[in-house]
Amino acid sequence: MSDLHTILKLASTDNQLISIAEKVYNGERISDQEGIYLFEHGDLPFVGHLANYIREKKHGDLTYFNRNFHIEPTNVCVFSCKFCSYSKLYANREEGWELSIDQMVDIVKGYDGKPVTEVHIVGGVHPKMNMDYFKELIRKIKAHRPDLHIKAFTAVELDYMFRKAKLSVDEGLKQLHDAGLQSLPGGGAEIFHPEIREQIAGDKVSGEGWLQIHEAAHQLGMHSNATMLYGHVEKYEHRIHHMRQLRDLQDKTNGFNTFIPLKFRNANNDMSDVKESTVIEDMRMYAIARIYLDNFPHLKAYWPMLGRQNAQLSLAFGVNDIDGTIDDSTKIYSMAGSEEQTPTMTTEQLVILIHQAKRTAVERDTLYNKIKIYTDTNSLS
């Protein structure tokens, strides 16, 4: 674990950085202004050591993953987010795909006898895939495999679904929860700040709407994840503004499992002229998120987006979770030019990747209950 003396040496003579380091070591929360200062003046070794101190204080060297698979019902969408390389507008839906309920249940059946614990269901916002459609899908999945945890639907999908069904957020979530929905993914958050959100995704649910849906889910006893899309046209203050809203809601509900910074990728979308962030900036983003979001138990690096080596590197910058085995069914980031064009890793590959980073691999379920601790690669057998 990084010691305070080492970190203070890295701060050199910068009194503000020294003050931030001392606050973190004393278990004190940093302010928004201090978060922005870290982005502006904290170099990679300094923020990395500080984030690693927090990570190891919370989790030691444990690094989590789960055995999951993705279902993407459609990439047809009524929205036209400028950063999106995945969706096809409803008017041009011949270029996309639309899965039937039976096709999606068949995907689930394809994992019969395999030790997966979670199905992750997200996709485009299709006007014909409504509340009744998705309630039927969830019920059929639960009827076939009751033990499978269903994590499904971004707040963007839910907002459209509820408005079309003329349901309040509370009633809509209750109906889906009663059908078998157990938790929410963190997608659709993008950047909450209205000025930036209007530029990149102005026609979908607002930041306030996203937060309202997640708060309502937490009140029902459902946990959720949170994301932030970074490295495009936002500034540092917009990142901190975004994380401030999440930190405040977590103080209120304690319903978030993990925070997942998502790197903007510029291939095949309307923002291809925007240069992508460097690996150094990616690691600084993870580290500062770990420092600022003191009430989030976990920080996840989504390896299909970052690539295996960079996800491995992130384990030294505050990250303690690299998602799951996933299989090769997710296309959201591969279509945007991510490092992983066929995002699948076996359990053995994930465990080896984690152990190569001098961490201990822990298989978890969706709610971070430990299923198996891999003390070394021999425990794979």
The residue ranges of every structural domain in the chain are 4-58, 61-380
Banded pLDDT at 182 (limits 50, 70, 90):
very high
pLDDT in tens, 30-45: 999 999 999 999 999 9
Residue-wise DSSP of 108-173: HHTTTTS---EEEE-----TTS-HHHHHHHHHHHHHH-TTSEEEE--HHHHHHHHHHHT--HHHHH
Query: Is-contact 80 317, C-beta < 8 A?
Result: no
The pair of structure tokens assigned to 219 is 């009140």
Q: What three-state secondary structure class fits 76?
A: strand
**pLDDT tens by residue, 96-127:** 778 999 999 999 999 999 999 999 999 877 77
* Per-residue pLDDT at 266: 72
Helix/strand/coil for 253: helix
CA angle in degrees (0–180, nearest 5) for 138-142-147: 135
Question: Two tokens at 183?
Answer: 């938790």
Superfamily grouping for domain 61-380: Aldolase class I (3.20.20.70)
What rounded mean pLDDT belongs to the chain? 88
123-137 per-position pLDDT tens digit: 877 777 789 999 999
